[in-house]
Amino acid sequence: MQLIVGLGNPGDKYFNTRHNVGFFVLDNYAKEHNLTWKFEKKFNADVIKEGDLILVKPLTFMNRSGESVSKIMNYFEIKPEKLTVIHDDVDFDEGTIKEHFARGSAGHKGVSDVIKHLGTNEFNRIRVGVGRPTNPNIETDDWVLMNFDLETLKISSDLIK
């Protein structure tokens, strides 16, 4: 069983923000494959289960993503190496994709929470670059929560294997 988690924040307020890149990638995949999200209260997440693939959008807010991820992994008895977390990363130019296994959070609070709840960093990560603000008066925490056109990233749902 393969678990792919897109990190983001729930609600219309955050829909088109850089922090929601993980949700965006999963939503594109679901749309391309005519799959429908189902809210699962026991995980506090939107979930799609398709054969041996489980897609998850935690609805706990970014910094508490580990709560949903650990519940789902325990429920389906998924080993950490079968987990892939897709998230935004300000350390890369917009649209840059980097894949890693067993790395630290690099300061990403959503990833930190997943590591904390799982007790390990031995899972896959897909880091999607959203760049840093060019205006020195904009803090990074504000930057990732600002609206922008997610479509400009042209991120392929082929990231989901």
* Mean per-residue pLDDT of the chain: 92
Give pLDDT tens digits for 60-99. 999 999 999 999 999 999 999 999 999 999 999 888 899 9
Whether residue 117 lies in the annotated active site: no
Separation of alpha carbons 125 and 102, rounded Å: 8
Catalytic residue among 19, 87, 108, 117: 19
Give pLDDT tens digits for 77-87. 999 999 999 99
Q: Which domain holds residue 125?
A: 2-159
Give pLDDT tens digits for 38-52. 999 999 999 999 999
What is the CATH classification number for the domain harbouring 6?
3.40.50.1470
Global pTM reads: 0.93
Total of domains in the chain: 1
